[in-house]
Structure 1
Amino acid sequence: MITKILLEVLAELGEAPVLIDRRFSREIGEVGALSARKIAAAPALAVRLILVLLKRPRFCVFFCTNRSFSFLVDVVLGELLRFFRIPTVNYIHTRGYSELAERGRIWRFLVSRLLRGAIANVCLGETLKADLLPFVAEGTISVVKNTVEVPPPEAGMRQRGHILFLSNLLEEKGADVFVEMAIEMCGISPDRRFSLVGAPVDDGLLAELRERVRKSGLSGRIVFLGPLFGAEKWNALASAEVLVFPTRYRFEAQPLTIIEAFSVGVPVVATNIGSIGDLVEDGVNGWLVAEANVNSVKEAVLKATSEPATSDRLAVGARRTFEQMYSREVFRAEWSRVIAGMRK
């Protein structure tokens, strides 16, 4: 999604972007996993990049990764960009470069080489700068916050007591915490219902969570809707009183699902990791929890939903946050500033 929006925004800014996609992972379960197909695809990616570089583009926006194999491919691609002397912006949608560098001197050298090879490094939030500062000067780091597609005008209305989980059904994303929290809250809040929207990555986990709900006798109030797309996804999201995102994903940066929730005026309860603390502000557009555990998430959800006036205030704050910080207009202005800086 961000790639599509970036290409559109660059075109709006008078550029003529050409996309060189990786073609590595076809589904979420393949991300970060080494395979023969990925190894075979790497040389073809380098060739496609060289063919474009021979046309002497004015600059390159380079989506950097830090998973071991993909990172090593990035290092090679970075050297090609350096060889052809193409001004480069590293566009970083993850965190963990400092952790990667801790593997040893060679890894630290490669991280520094990749990040310093660009004239600018773009990350998603102020908090994420700390991951890059051991390797590059602060003046070379810019923050461009994520944005999302505009939701359809016919998206559903918020419903009191509807608590939503929207992400891939992974323990790392907190699906297990959400289910356990939902079971406990059903015991104390008879007017609340809970929905999980997302693709099951681990069939064993999905079966375990379904069985846990079945045994609790709450299958009518805790429902698994599976992956939803387009209008169906937006309707499910817009109908929530609050989105719960109890992630413990080690590379979490700035989840689009939170920004999507804000765009339709839905406040968020989320773990304070990555750049999530740059998005969610306690009592303004949701609540942060220090750890993704059942008790802390339950308490935050109760604070966000127990009083209608509080719920409504958080909903207004969520929409205001989107308009002021994460709209497409803000995204375009921030990229315009980055490009202007490259021309100096």
Structure 2
Amino acid sequence: MFATNRRGSFLVDLGIALVLAIRRVPRIDYIHTVGFERLAGSSRLLRLAVAKFLSSAAITVTLADELRWDVEPWVARKSVRIIANFVPDATPGNATIEERYAARRVLFMSNLLPEKGVSDFVELAAKFTQNGDPAKFTVVGGDAGSVEFGRLRDSVEAADLTDRIELRGALHGALKEEALSQATLLVFPSSYEFEAQPLSVIEAMAHGVPAVAYNVGALPSITGDHEAGICVPTGNLGALEDAVSFVLGSFEVWSRLSFGALARHEAQFSQSAYAGRWEEAIREVTMRDRRRARGSR
């Protein structure tokens, strides 16, 4: 079951879970975000409902070890399985690795909610411009006709950065793949409190694009310990700037992280890794249910 924690949809999930329990059908909960702690804290009745729901699953799947905390008050640690998001393998672009590094294209790829950090990205571009760095900055995300996009465009113009920051709006399909294949580095400065395991970072890794990100959600387990990128304290723009400068300042550093991103994607965030972990989880629950059924005869 794809479990949700918005109040209305959670109550629907709870009803389905109760029906499955009555019919003695084992259930795997698949949790893609955090927020059960907050939901449970909103009332005594909802706390009881969250406890009933989460504790009744045979297995609870979270995206990363960092996200266990949100369910562990009600789920035994031994019942939690980690199955990360996946994105398909990317088609290599035409540029050589040397050309991609030399291009110094820094990419932001997310929606334009304030907590996703696009304002920090603009400020980062301003700092690099002031320092005479030739890096180019691109924002991918947001509907060109939206209020958020208009505000972003105004802020870029006010900072006199229209020649340094390209605003491409939301991209899909081949255009999105092209932007990723041409990027040197992804910057993900999100401070979103419900951040989990953002696909944009994993998509970048599939293209060999390392990431510099704020330390939120499951970002540390995506990038590893300087394996596919660098995480810095959330909201620390100075640390973000230093990390970006460090990666862009050395071909040796950047290429190590680039190859690390490809290897980490293949090992942990590829379709084959995802499918294999789900097969293990389903097999475990199925075998457990068969043993229960034999024992009740």
Using structure 1 for the length normalisation, give the TM-score.
0.78
Residue number in structure 2 paired with 1:196: 139
Residue number in structure 1 paired with 2:193: 250
Larger relative contact order (Cα-Cα within 8 Å, sequence gap ≥ 6) = 2
- How far the C-alpha of 1:281 sits from its partner, in A, is 2.6
Unpaired segments of 5 or more residues in structure 1?
1-61
Residue number in structure 2 paired with 1:64: 3
Residue 274 (1) aligns with residue 213 (2): no
Q: Report how many residues are paired.
A: 283
Task: State the distance in 2 between where 1:111 and 1:204 align.
Answer: 36
- SS of 1:283's equivalent in the other structure is coil
- Give RMSD over aligned pairs: 1.8
Deviations 1:8-38 (A, max 9, x none): xxxxxxxxxxxxxxxxxxxxxxxxxxxxxxx
Using structure 2 for the length normalisation, give the TM-score.
0.89
2:148 to 170, 181, 205: 205
CA contact (8 A) 1:128 1:274 kept: yes
Alignment of 1:1-344 (within 5 A): 62-154=1-93, 158-159=100-101, 160-200=103-143, 203-344=146-287
- How far the C-alpha of 1:200 sits from its partner, in A, is 3.8
Task: State the distance in 1 between where 2:93 and 2:106 align.
Answer: 20
- How far the C-alpha of 1:291 sits from its partner, in A, is 1.0
CA contact (8 A) 2:92 2:181 kept: no
- How far the C-alpha of 1:235 sits from its partner, in A, is 1.0
Counterpart amino acid of residue 234 in structure 2: E
Task: State the distance in 2 between where 1:210 and 1:268 align.
Answer: 24
- SS of 2:238's equivalent in the other structure is helix
Q: Could you tell which deviates more after superposition, 135-144 or 64-73?
A: 64-73
Deviations 1:150-197 (A, max 9, x none): 323447663531000011111121111111111221221431110000
Counterpart amino acid of residue 141 in structure 1: V
Task: State the distance in 2 between where 1:201 and 1:134 align.
Answer: 43
- How far the C-alpha of 1:313 sits from its partner, in A, is 1.2
- SS of 1:142's equivalent in the other structure is strand
- How far the C-alpha of 1:276 sits from its partner, in A, is 1.2
CA contact (8 A) 1:66 1:100 kept: yes
1:106/1:132 Cα in 2 relative to 1: closer, same or farther (>3 Å)? Answer: same
Q: Could you tell which deviates more after superposition, 100-109 or 231-240?
A: 100-109
Deviations 1:236-278 (A, max 9, x none): 0121111011111111111111111111110001111111111
Counterpart amino acid of residue 72 in structure 2: L
Identity %: 35
Unpaired segments of 5 or more residues in structure 2?
288-297
Task: State the distance in 1 between where 2:159 and 2:31 align.
Answer: 42
- How far the C-alpha of 1:215 sits from its partner, in A, is 2.3
- How far the C-alpha of 1:66 sits from its partner, in A, is 1.0
Task: State the distance in 1 between where 2:71 and 2:27 align.
Answer: 16
Residue number in structure 2 paired with 1:33: none
